[in-house]
Structure 1
Amino acid sequence: MAKLGRAKQRESAALPVAAASMPAVAASAPPPAAQHDGPDDFVLLRILGNDLFPRHRKGQTRTNLALILAHEPELEDCRKRWIVNRIIDPAEEALIIDLLERSGQDYTRIPFDIGEYAGIGWAEDGFAEPGFFLSKSYEALGPEARARAEVHARRLKNIYVMNNNGGRNLALREGRGLARWVLPWDGNCFLTESGWREIRRAVLEQPDLKYFVVPMLRVSSNELLLRGQMERPAEDEPQLIFRNDAVEMFDEARPYGTRPKVDLLMRLGVPGPWDRWLADTWEAPMAPRSAEAGRFALAGWVGRLESGKPHLERSGQGTVRALARADAIVAALDWLDRQVMASRVQPERLCLYDEAKIGELASEASATLRSALKADADAALSRGPGSVADKPAPAPGAGARDYFSLARYWWPDPASPDGLPYVNRDGDDVFRSGLPGFAPERFDRMRVQQLFDDSIVLALGWAALGDGRYLDHAAGLVRTWFIDPRTRMTPHLRFAQFVHGHDSHDSTGYGILDFSGLPRLLDAVRLMERGGALSPGDGLAFRHWLRSYADWLLDSPQGRHASRRLNNHGTFYDLQIAAIAIFLGDIDALNAALRRVRERLPHQFAPDGSQPRELARSRPRHYSYLNLVGWIAIARLAESVGDDLWNYEAADGRSLRKVLRWLIDRCDARDWPKGLPVEAERLAVEPLRAAYSAKYEPEQAGPAPQPPFSLDPMLGMAPFWPLQR
């Protein structure tokens, strides 16, 4: 224990926090063997926590502390201590500690560790179904219930950061060795001389009781409290006094904002408005009554200092306060998540492809792969640059630079004179029909696929072989498609996978899948910029285009539609959002996408590892494979920013590992529903097998990958897959 003047500081060791779960501290636990056996004295330990905007004003904890130190009287037979409880703002914590030390106050500091926080995941327990935030149950909730659900989803993070009941229990444990009566109170509690006199008299008159309930008066202005002008009775959740041999403690599994103190009040049988409060279905039930229930009495009153938000302190504002509190919890934890991710994101670093593997291409062991890369890069030199404006005619109602493709399973209606509206023949590709008007070059999908593939092949070719022609040509492709005002694509996919005769000349959002190759293009652009083939002005113009496209994905009807899809379309939507967010350093969009991916997993994967939504399609093997390609790409992106989706497991055990294993085990099976295996798709399982071995069974890694290193573009796997993470 270090002494600083009269002040005494104690550092409380932080317990390690599990990434996916937080064990509850027993609500009832025997008191420590060492207890204070002296006279009827008291120790008041107030817990100083975080300011949470918009519930509190910034600096409010420190402001209230200064007021208490300046105006609260000395309390008869009572010593005062403080708990500095995981303050997340280092500057604010330093000011609080400085104030305590200059005032000669004793305190214990519970440190906040951003590294410990970074390992804490989302809470999935309690919700009506896995993937709750992408469910119809969530969509049916009103705004207030949604806010509470968001708080619950952050329960484990909340428990660590706010440490509400953890701080109270630490105060209890410390206080038991310091006095007969322990007051583990909130940091905004203020005692007047008369209020303390009433509390002390009530306790000393009934020393056989182990608990006392101290009603709390919420004030809208501290001046009213200092002047003794309180006109209404105390009505807030009360504070508690514990005799040092009291058994009950606060339940540390109940986080701030979800009635953490009420749980103990109800265990003790303390009546109040909380008896009428309704619980959300995801909340854990209140604990049963304690063996010590009823062994309490009321004792005086205590004032609650203002929060800095006077309108929230008025009577009858309970619901408004609750919403502000929920918003504040979410905002604080999201701010911390932003700090964690910002420390990990390096936009210039490759995400899908592995720098080390690219560096090894010069070795003799990589001769076959290097030779194949040179051949493909040489071939790419002869193509392009193609433009979205090269098509002979735009979509109905569109311009020449608007991207245009047709949905491949929709056919002209033979019973209609003009073929309209088109009819669906799932799994039957109209582009292989030979019908006039369906030549691939009439539309943009083939061109954009070639753009994505040629760009990365050329960039990898430059990185491996040092031939500047490759990089210059790749940069020309990017300038033509995204930068040159005469040829660049308008940043939206409103007319992608268009269906004639439907949706009033708009697509539904399924066409966002056409840009599934965008993440590999972004790695190619990183290499182009590294090699100087794209100027800073080019880079700025490309990012401007990318930002506009990302905004369209997030805000358009098509983007919102794709974000809600629970099959491969949703997967590739999240893949694009995450890839763009890393490239642009958009931390909020990245964190939202990675969280949404976790919510999506139980909707797409069955407990046995199958993909029911993809198996229901007319081409079950193809779509099971395609969706998994998207998941692997997302896992690689996440890995590049320190997020491990490879080993993530939902609460019911569903995981990417199980899905990979399921598909690999069936890659040669002849009993797939609705169709037999296709040779190209059987061959395409090799990249999945290699990824599985590398991540889960590295000690059983097989021989080096063999050609082909690039697969049918319709299968979604990026070219030269052995060079990926």
Structure 2
Amino acid sequence: MTTGGDDAGAASAVGKGAPPAPPTPSGGVAKAVVTRARRNGLRAALAVIFFFGFVSLVLTARSTSFSAAWGTSFRNAATIATSSGMLRKTTRTVVPLLVDSESQFDSNASVALELPSTAKTTAITVLSAAEELRAQPERRPEHMLLRTTGDVRTLRPKYALLRTIGNALPPRHDPARTLQNLRFILEHERLDDDEIAKHWVINRIIDPTLLDQLKALLHEFNAEFTEIPFVLHEYAQQPFRVVIEDQGVDHAHAAEVLEKGEGDWIRVLNQNEIYDLKNRYALSVNAARNVMLAIGRRMSARWILPWDQNSFLTQDAWRLIKTDLAYHDRLAVQNADNEGVHQLKYFLSYMDRLAQENDVVLSPNYTPNAWAEPQLIFRDDAREQFDERFRYGKRDKVALLVRLNVRGVWNEWGWSSWEQQRTFMNVSSDVDGVTVPQTGYVVRLYSGVASFEMNDKRAAYWRELKRGEGVVRVLEMLETRVMREVFRFSNKTLSVYSESKLAATRSNASSGDVRTLVEDAERAMRIQEPWTVTSNAALSVFNASQMFANYVDKPDVTDDGALIKHMVYNTTSLALAWQITRDPRYAAQALKFVEAWCGDSNVSTAMLPLLDFADLSFEGVQSGNPEYWTGGASGVRHTVILPMLLDTMRMLFFHAPESPAAVDEGKASFRVPNATRTQLISWIQELYTHLKTSVHARTLFHVSTSLYGLQYDLQMAAMAAFLDDPLEYRYTLGTMQGRLLTMLDSAGNLVVPIGVAKQPYMLLSLATWGIALDVAQQLNMTSHLLHFDMTSDGREETTSNNGLLCRMVERQIPCCERPTGEDASGNRIPTTAEDEGGRCVKLLQDARPVQLFIYQRIVRHAISECAALKALTSCTSLAAMEIGSETLSAGELSHYQLPPYPFLRHTHRSSSWFNRV
């Protein structure tokens, strides 16, 4: 249950009363009865009000002020009138409402507070995010629709007790306790006080069944509640966060993170940081608290208690709290004209965290042990609210406690500079050196796991660890739901090629593009012996013939890298030709090639699924030094064509077109035997597991700071999708932007590794990022890549309109450079637009078609998101160019590891498509 992420663990025994402290003005007089009487009961209602008013004046004249007496009479009259059916009952009409903090409290019992994130000060603004979020409106819903229902009070309460109802987070919480604890509160919390109003905020409940049960339970007890709805499409737009404050490194791939990440605590901490923005939407703990503050002010309550969902008040606890608040209200009235007396606007109520069943608080012998982090009480004119930049579990409540100068164990924690700037260096002016007093206590109902509720360091550690694990578990479940429900993910869906284009091409099989494809397939049909790693002499240091190996510094030796490329490009042409022509000969030949490389059961020709000996050093091996007996980080480049191979397998396994001849003759079309399919899928699974878990892959490929790291990500994502692992697929693609931090400098220039030719590396990098954008587009992540940037203080920026990738396109593609140039010393100098146009024309004249294709592919993605590129005519013109498919042979495209036959690939589309899903 997301009831508050901070675990102060601070021992703070609360006595039976709070120490005297400066007061606050009284707001206990109800100012109006806002209700709508039934027409036939209006006179009766007025008579009741007059009668009780007169009686109250007589009975209370000796001890109560005139205005207070009238407040009492109004309350009594409203109670009688409602019970007699004179006042209008709860309606179920949902109406949009923007409220002014000074306006009267509407008696409509079911309203929707539609609060725009850019609301002006005349409306409730506490729902707006912190200042950074206000600069990122697209990361928040344009309007947060709050559905409020229940019997709303017709009188202004003096006190408003509001509690959230959030999602349970096993293993931290027992999921059953959400309903159990809510029912316990509704059945047993009896404060017997007409001056306090209770209200619940259902905070983005993920499980629809649980949501219905919660609403039914609240309706059963006629409890007021407001719902902040969870919208899966909105959650899907929240990006992963790869840069952690104060570090400025790619947190998802950095070597130092990998080295430190073996322990449970570091692992969970890292995962929670990367899921930060997703946590802030799905769990939205501080946003919900700010909603409660807004509702409390909407009620015109003098004191607002925006508490966590499992907070329970005994009559004794409420008596202590109310006594203190009323006392300070009286003092405030007495000192209203004394500017030297500080006005108290906040109180603390420490928690008794139950480690046994809730019934213990019903016993007359119950004695609280209030030691856990406090709940806060706000006066209606308190300026502060909860900082929504602190996610659930990351000092979400403690951040405000620090700003209010409330000391606790949190003062001894390690705080990043970003956190310090928002807390210790930003102390609230509401406290001005005055200690926030404590009052009463609050019971934190049992979570279902007794060992987590003890007051010791061990329990605190496990509480935090299991809370973090619970958060990640819930968010991972949501990521899977996004893939299945929003993007209709299926491991059978082609990733590189478009199924719709293949189907459309069947009706136009005589086109020049198709003829070229079929010619390539016919050449592949004439190949007698399939490619295998055993075609070469054994190159690994262990002389194993099935080991994939090559020498990076001895190109004259035919290596396995060349063989696997030939195999994949030829099987791709065969599979595509089969899809279009429906000739099963092509499918049979493609299967023969794939089976020989990946899983021939008769002859041991299959490549062992590992890459430990890819890109060996010939000189190093010859030296006999064991340090050179494994390959380098560049070895992952040889399998970058895996997505094409996987699409070939999908076509063979799941997309068999019916052969016209087979249909006419009543014969079955081509089918892959189940045993063969299982064998080939197992080979992919073994390679995937090796690249994900082996020391060689983790310490070389995963943490690579160059193009090879990006190539590794694309391969891992492709295999995850093929193996029906949508969570890993989405996570891998969603964190690719971190690669930009090591591949580029801050200006967007490519950092070319030592000893690598600059121009080929630049073109290969652009080609690979183009592929990355193609794949990311399928999950609406293109904008995440293009808007990614770093601020000057080392923080991640997710809404830049000229992000790092935009600047890379600008620096590497002449047509997209802004009007600047370089002098003889390499310094950038201003030039004219005409000069840049001339450079673009020269580029178009001199570039090979495949080079233009690489440029155009990435530019078409970039101009939709990068403001500076969109403003350049030469750049938009490049994007609009048509490059004939006949000029892009499979051989040319293979030089840059690009999939052949682009006329059959997915077409770029604007990222705004997601809004139409």
TM-score by length of 1: 0.85
Does the 8 Å CA contact 1:567/1:627 hold for their aligned counterparts? no
Q: Which of these residues, 229, 245, 256, is aligned with residue 381 of structure 2?
A: 245
Q: CA deviation at 1:228?
A: 5.6
2:537 maps to 1:401: no
Q: What's the counterpart of residue 340 of structure 1?
A: 482
2: CA distance, partners of 1:511 / 1:227: 69
Could you tell me which residue of structure 1 aligns to residue 740 of structure 2? 601
Closer, same or farther: CA 685–504 of 1 in aligned 2, 3 Å:
closer
1:687 matched residue in structure 2: 853
Distance 1:181 1:252, change over 3 A: same
Q: Give me the whole-angstrom Cα distance separating, in 1, the residues matched to 2:672 and 2:234.
A: 40
Matched, 1:280 2:416: yes
The CA deviation string for residues 326-359 of structure 1, in whole angstroms up to 9 with x for no partner, is 2222222222112112332222222112344445
What amino acid is the match of 1:691? Answer: R
Contact 1:353/1:724 (CA < 8 Å) preserved in 2?
yes
Task: Give the corresponding residue for 1:582.
Answer: 721
Instruction: Note the alpha carbon deviations across 1:217-261, whole angstroms, 9 max, x for none.
Output: 222123443336566742222112223333332222222112222
Structure 2 CA distance for partners of 1:476 and 1:667, relative to 1, 3 Å: farther
Q: CA RMSD in A?
A: 3.6
Among residues 694, 704, 710, which one is paired with 1:556 in the alignment? Answer: 694
2:516 to 363, 372, 397: 372
Deviates more, 1:359-368 or 1:373-382: 359-368
Alignment of 1:292-331 (within 5 A): 292-293=430-431, 294=434, 296-316=436-456, 317-331=459-473
Q: Secondary structure at the residue paired with 2:550?
A: coil
Give the letter for the 1:215 counterpart: Y
Inter-CA distance 490–239: structure 2 relative to 1 (3 Å threshold): same
Alignment of 1:460-609 (within 5 A): 460-485=576-601, 486=603, 487-499=605-617, 500=621, 501=624, 502-503=626-627, 505-508=629-632, 510-529=634-653, 530-531=655-656, 532-560=670-698, 561-609=700-748
Contact 2:720/2:729, CA 8 A, preserved across alignment:
yes
Residues 126, 284 of structure 1: 8 Å contact kept: no
Correspondence 1:134-533 to 2 at 5 A: 134-136=253-255, 138-139=257-258, 143=263, 144=265, 147-178=268-299, 179-207=301-329, 208=332, 209-221=344-356, 222-227=358-363, 233-281=369-417, 283=419, 285-287=421-423, 288-293=426-431, 294=434, 296-316=436-456, 317-343=459-485, 344=487, 345-359=489-503, 361=505, 367-383=511-527, 384-393=529-538, 395-397=540-542, 399-403=544-548, 405-409=549-553, 430-432=554-556, 438=557, 440=558, 443-485=559-601, 486=603, 487-499=605-617, 500=621, 501=624, 502-503=626-627, 505-508=629-632, 510-529=634-653, 530-531=655-656, 532-533=670-671
Cα displacement (A) at 1:370: 2.5
Q: Which moved more, 1:110-119 or 1:443-452?
A: 443-452
Quick one: which amino acid aligns to residue 585 of structure 2? R
- Give a deviation string over 1:377-421, Cα, whole Å, max 9, x none: 111111242333333446342543333x22221xxxxxxxxxxxx
Q: 2:789 aligns with which of 646, 651, 656?
A: 651
2:49 corresponding residue in structure 1: none
Unaligned runs of 5+ in 1: 26-35, 410-429, 433-437
1:617 aligns with 2:741: no
Cα distance, 1:70–1:257 mapped onto 2, change above 3 Å: same
**Percent identical residues:** 27
Q: 1:100 to 1:341 in 2, by over 3 A?
A: same
Q: Distance in 2 between matches of 1:130 and 1:170?
A: 35
Counterpart secondary structure, 2:377 = strand
Distance 1:163 1:646 in 2: 21
Letter in 2 for 1:601: L
- Does the CA contact (< 8 Å) of 1:130 and 1:602 recur in 2? yes
From 619, 631, 640, give the equivalent of 2:778: 640
* Deviation at residue 39 of structure 1 after TM alignment: 8.0
Which amino acid in 1 is paired with 2:745?
A
Equivalenced residue count is 679
- Check the 8 A contact 1:75/1:196 in 2, yes or no: no
Asked whether the 8 Å contact 1:578–1:637 carries over to 2, the reply is: no
**Closer, same or farther in 2 for the Cα pair 1:576/1:463, shift >3 Å?**
same
1:185-212 CA-partner distances (Å, limit 9, x unpaired) = 1111111111111111111111134322
Q: Equivalents in 1 of 2:759, 2:236: separation in Å?
A: 38
Partner SS, residue 79 of structure 1: strand
SS at 2:161 equivalent: strand
Asked if the contact 2:303–2:379 (Cα under 8 Å) also holds between the matched residues in 1, the reply is: yes
- Deviation, 1:170, is 1.5
Residues 1:23 and 2:158 aligned together: no
**Does the Cα contact within 8 Å between 1:42 and 1:182 map onto a contact in 2?**
yes
Determine helix, strand or coil for the equivalent of 2:226: strand
Cα 1:53–1:228, aligned 2, differ >3 Å: closer, same or farther? farther
Q: Secondary structure at the match of 2:891?
A: coil
Kindly provide the amino acid, as one letter, of the partner of residue 238 in structure 1. P
Counterpart CA distance in 2 for 1:556 and 1:253 is 37
Letter in 2 for 1:212: F
Judge conservation of contact 1:482–1:545 (CA < 8 Å) in 2: yes
Superposed displacement of residue 141, structure 1: 5.1
How far the C-alpha of 1:321 sits from its partner, in A, is: 2.1
Deviates more, 1:307-316 or 1:279-288: 279-288
- Contact 2:239–2:734 under 8 Å retained in 1: no
Cα contact 1:483–1:541 (8 A) shared by 2: yes
- Note the C-alpha offset of 1:520: 0.8
Corresponding letter in the other structure for 1:70: E
Q: Distance in 1 between matches of 2:751 and 2:510?
A: 39
Normalization by structure 2: what TM-score? 0.68
Provide the rounded CA distance (Å) in 1 between the counterparts of 2:531 and 2:816.
36
Matched, 1:42 2:159: yes
Deviation at 1:313, TM superposition (A): 0.9
Q: Is the 8 A contact 1:509 1:557 kept in 2?
A: no
Please, which of 707, 711, 716 is the counterpart of residue 891 of structure 2?
711
The 8 Å contact of residues 494 and 509 in structure 1, kept in 2 or not, is answered as no
For 2:394, what is the secondary structure of its paired residue?
coil
Q: Cα 1:549–1:470, aligned 2, differ >3 Å: closer, same or farther?
A: same
* Greater displacement, 108-117 / 241-250: 241-250
* 1:571-608 deviation per Cα after TM superposition (whole angstroms, max 9, x unaligned): 22111111111112112321332234122122112333
Q: Secondary structure at the match of 2:252?
A: helix
Structure 1 range deviating more: 40-49 or 461-470: 461-470
Distance 1:534 1:284, change over 3 A: farther
Structure 2: unaligned runs, 5 residues or longer: 1-89, 94-107, 118-127, 137-152, 333-343, 657-669, 791-801, 827-842, 864-875, 907-917
Match of 1:591, SS state, is helix
Work out the CA distance in 2 between the residues paired with 1:15 and 1:550: 46
Letter of the structure 1 residue corresponding to residue 304 of structure 2: V
User: Per the alignment, in what secondary structure is the counterpart of residue 715 of structure 1?
Assistant: coil
The residue number in structure 1 matching 2:814 is 665
Cα separation, partners in 2 of 1:579 and 1:523, compared to 1, 3 Å: same
User: How big is the shift at 1:550?
Assistant: 0.5
Secondary structure of 1:213's counterpart equals: strand
Deviation at 1:314, TM superposition (A): 0.6
| Aligned residues of 1:23 and 1:253 also touching (Cα < 8 A) | no
Deviates more, 1:697-706 or 1:216-225: 697-706
- Give SS of 1:613's match: coil
Contact 1:605 1:654 in 2 (8 A): no
- Give the secondary structure class of the aligned counterpart of 1:55: coil
Partner of residue 114, structure 1: 232
Give me the whole-angstrom Cα distance separating, in 2, the residues matched to 1:39 and 1:606. 59
Question: 1-side partners of 2:164 and 2:451: how far apart?
Answer: 24
Q: Tell which structure's C-alpha radius of gyration is larger.
A: 2
